[in-house]
Structure 1
Amino acid sequence: MRRTPSARRVAPHPGTPPPGEGLIVGAVPRGARITGVLLVLAALAGAAAPFPTYLVVGGEELSSANGLGSALIALLVPAVHLAVGVVLLRGAVPKFGLAYAGVTGTLGVGLLMIELYRGSSSTARPGIEVLAGERVLTSGVEAGPGWVLGVVALALTVLAGVAAIASWGRTVMVDGGALDPVRSGLAGAAVLLGVATVLALSLPAADVPDRLVTDPTTGLQTVVTQEGPQALLERPGLALMGGLLLAGAVVLCSVVAPSLRPRLAAVGGLLAVAVTVLVAALTGLRDAAASDELEWTVPGAGLLVTGLGYAVLTALAWRLRRGRS
């Protein structure tokens, strides 16, 4: 008697999800969870960094958290790192966390180089700088524990980005293509925001205003330009290289983030850019509000606008969760 072969159960192919959100998540590789661990460690180091002494400049101890507002700004990035790191450790939506880690790690390379310059090389060419909301002359700088913790947090963020990029191809997570009809619009808006962000970053967000001087003899008024903080691309050496890398990374990530698949990966990439730009803008606003010598500049206001623009794009990508029927 001839035996009928038993029917085999065939799993659906991960590349053809059902219509709608149709989210399919495969096995989460070890590298994705390692990325989550690195993000959590970066969050812990970053959360501790604002409170000890940041730098000692000319005998004056500077701290990044001088009040409730500055503390909240300093804790924004660690809070997001921690939340995304926990999501990666759970393995629920891995490409969301990997996209966030990859983009924030890419942006972190330039930030790390700038921070290394501030704490170790800024005395090679002394100049007026704004550090932790204070206008100081960097003729003598000593690194404090807060600076060390900040550098460790940035280094862990960069390592998390490397681990995320290495794990991306081995992570299976697809959806029904809900974001596909509007990806080109998101990408165009993100590129415009990226260019505007670079232009805003090229000048200080908080600067020293010009002083109006009246000659007591003639009564003539003269505008005297005061030396202000160094712009992003005016710093020498390591800081200049970091500024160029940061500017290039902002534009590159603005192009790449909206094109990431699935939809939640694009949300993660845009979230990383939004948080980075918003923190830079809010830091400039804090410096201007905390110091009588500084005032908020047009580039600083522009940086805040672009940061809010990235936040709007992130929210739009998040809300478009219903696919085509």
Structure 2
Amino acid sequence: MAGPDRTTRNDRSRGATARRATAGGDRRPAAAARPDRRGAGGVAADGRVPSARGRSAGQPVPADGLVVGDVPRTARVAGVLLVLAGLAGLAALFPPYLVVGDRELTLGGGLGGVLVGLVVPVTSVAVGAGLAAGRVPRFGLAYAGVGGPLALGALLIEVYRGSSSTVRPGVEVLAGERVLTSSVETGPGWWLAVAALGLAVLAGTCAAAVWSRTVMEDRGALDPVRSGLAGAAVLLGVLTVLCLALPAADVPDRLVDDPATGLEVVVEQQGPQALLERPGLALLGGLLLAGAVVLGSVLSPSLRPRLAAVGGFLAVAVTVLAAGLSGLRDAVASDELEWTVPGAGLLVAGSAYALLTVLAWRLRRTGTG
């Protein structure tokens, strides 16, 4: 009986081994044949975004395949600085700005002054709040990075107005009024305006420092038209610089009768100084502002992803549009001033930049891939 029992046990063990081998063989081909669930750009087919370590983060992918990684702390700091800059800019509209001679000036004088003064601060608060919350970080970083050099040029011009404009007195248009800078005293509004521009410069510095460490990419819906956007932006940049070189609102010439001949002659009146005719810090600020407009126009179309290009265009658009609207406000508010062709050119250029911004944003619905 011992022999048959051993034979039966051996047969049973060999059968169990064969069944395990067969089951293992079935599992291996099934695992090898499992399809790859990741799509283009590392996006999973089930609509989830992989994290930087290759694990699913469980976030749905937008229509343009936008992938957003962890937002660095410095990027959020840049957003907070943008919000503070916008709030300071809003607060600067209402207290006394400068006292020139015996005239007290306010940036937000009248409804037109308030509306023009809201353009840049409100945009900064909205973009900065989104960046501080970690939403689409490269959009906010691009806005801050392009807007920083623009704010630096404006900051130097503002410092000149409040500190050294009396060294070489001249006619200026400040807060919608034509004044002679023989004596200038700064008020709370000027200090708030300087603080707003300084915070914008700091935000731009933070944005440039953290840009390469911020992960955000899409499927390239904007790539086919980037060259066209770049060409249009460069042309607008050149037009803007040419318009900035001359006052947006100027004093018109007067027609008087010449008593000797009885004919009407044109008498030129001293108007506001052009941007590049001012000395010292104002000249340096004007050169930086002009260079920043061209640099922002060249850089914005090349920023990735698409929303970063939108942020860069938006920074240039609100700056140029605010300058054009300021010239129109000055001409409407003062009987001594008239709107100039460069002022109208600034308004056209700002509107065109806004159109490029909208175009780059809308392409998310028409892009493929």
Match runs of 1:160-239 below 5 Å: 160-239=203-282
Shift of 1:14: 9.4
Shift of 1:218: 2.9
Tell me the distance in 1 between the aligned counterparts of 2:220 and 2:261: 73
Structure 2: unaligned runs, 5 residues or longer: 1-19, 45-61
Q: Are 1:264 and 2:307 matched, yes or no?
A: yes
Count, aligned residues: 323
Shift of 1:70: 1.1
Tell me the distance in 1 between the aligned counterparts of 2:239 and 2:281: 24
Shift of 1:268: 0.3
Tell me the distance in 2 between the aligned counterparts of 1:222 and 1:293: 19
Match runs of 1:19-168 below 5 Å: 21-168=64-211
Tell me the distance in 1 between the aligned counterparts of 2:244 and 2:187: 26
Identity across aligned pairs (percent)?
71
Q: Secondary structure at the match of 2:304?
A: coil
Tell me the distance in 1 between the aligned counterparts of 2:272 and 2:153: 19
Structure 1: unaligned runs, 5 residues or longer: none
Shift of 1:69: 1.7
Shift of 1:16: 5.0
Shift of 1:180: 0.1
Q: Are 1:276 and 2:319 matched, yes or no?
A: yes
Shift of 1:17: 5.3
Q: For 1:317, which of 357, 360, 367 is the aligned residue?
A: 360
Which structure 1 residue ranges, 4+ long, deviate > 4 Å from structure 2?
A: 1-7, 10-20
Greater Rg, structure 1 or structure 2?
Answer: 2
For residues 80-129 of structure 1, give each alpha carbon's deviation from its aligned partner in whole angstroms, at most 9, with x where no partner exists. Answer: 00100111022120000000011111111100000000000100100011
Shift of 1:76: 1.4
Task: Kindly indicate whether the alpha-carbon contact (under 8 Å) linking 1:17 and 1:174 is maintained by their aligned counterparts in 2.
Answer: no
Question: Structure 2 counterpart of 1:104, which letter?
Answer: G
Task: Kindly indicate whether the alpha-carbon contact (under 8 Å) linking 1:20 and 1:176 is maintained by their aligned counterparts in 2.
Answer: no
Question: Structure 1 counterpart of 2:182, which letter?
Answer: S
Shift of 1:215: 2.1
Change (3 A) 1:11 1:107: farther
Q: Secondary structure at the match of 1:209?
A: coil
Shift of 1:276: 0.2
Tell me the distance in 1 between the aligned counterparts of 2:202 and 2:315: 15
Task: Kindly indicate whether the alpha-carbon contact (under 8 Å) linking 2:313 and 2:353 is maintained by their aligned counterparts in 1.
Answer: yes
Shift of 1:13: 9.7
What is the TM-score normalised by the length of structure 1? 0.95
